[in-house]
Amino acid sequence: MKFRTSHGRIKYEISLPLSQADLAGIDLKGIDCSEMSLREANFVGAILTVSNFDDADLTGAKFNGAILQGVSFMGTKLVGADFSGADLSEASFFDSDLSGADLSESIIHNTDFENALADNSTCFPPLFHPSENGIQMRA
């Protein structure tokens, strides 16, 4: 599996299965992981600025404290993902599934949640109102 930067260059080549991959603390700016299965992957503290995870499966992935400024998660499955303490400024979660995700203590500034799904187990930062930010709440 090859990760490409936004400029098309190969930055990392990984031959291991990516489910449960440990990519903690790695600088992966501009990486394109669209349509990949990265279930339960560990991105704790990683730098993923302007990366692409569109239509990926990131169920149970850990992004605690990661830098996710300008990252695209459009149409992404993020069920049970942990974004606590992550910087989500300018990120897009358009049409993604955030059911059971933890966004507590994350930085949310100009973040797009339009048409995203969440449920009662999804944790948001204090004073964040899901419905006012375009999130559809499941019963």
33 is a domain residue: yes
109 is a domain residue: yes
6 is a domain residue: no
4 is a domain residue: no
On the question of pLDDT at 39 being above 50, the answer is yes
| Domain ranges, residue 118 | 20-139
DSSP string, the chain: -EEE-TTS-EEEE--S-STT-B-TT-B-TT-B-TT-B-TT-B-TT-B-TT-B-TT-B-TT-B-TT-B-TT-B-TT-B-TT-B-TT-B-TT-B-TT-B-TT-B-TT-B-SS-B-TT-EE-TT-B--TT--GGGGTPEEP-
Percentage of the chain lying above the pLDDT 70 cut: 87
10 is a domain residue: no
43 is a domain residue: yes
What is the tens place of the pLDDT at every residue in 55-110? 999 999 999 999 999 999 999 999 999 999 999 999 999 999 999 999 999 999 99
> How many structural domains does the chain have?
1
120 is a domain residue: yes
Query: Which CATH number do you get for residue 67?
Result: 2.160.20.80
pLDDT of residue 9: 55
pLDDT of residue 8: 54
51 is a domain residue: yes
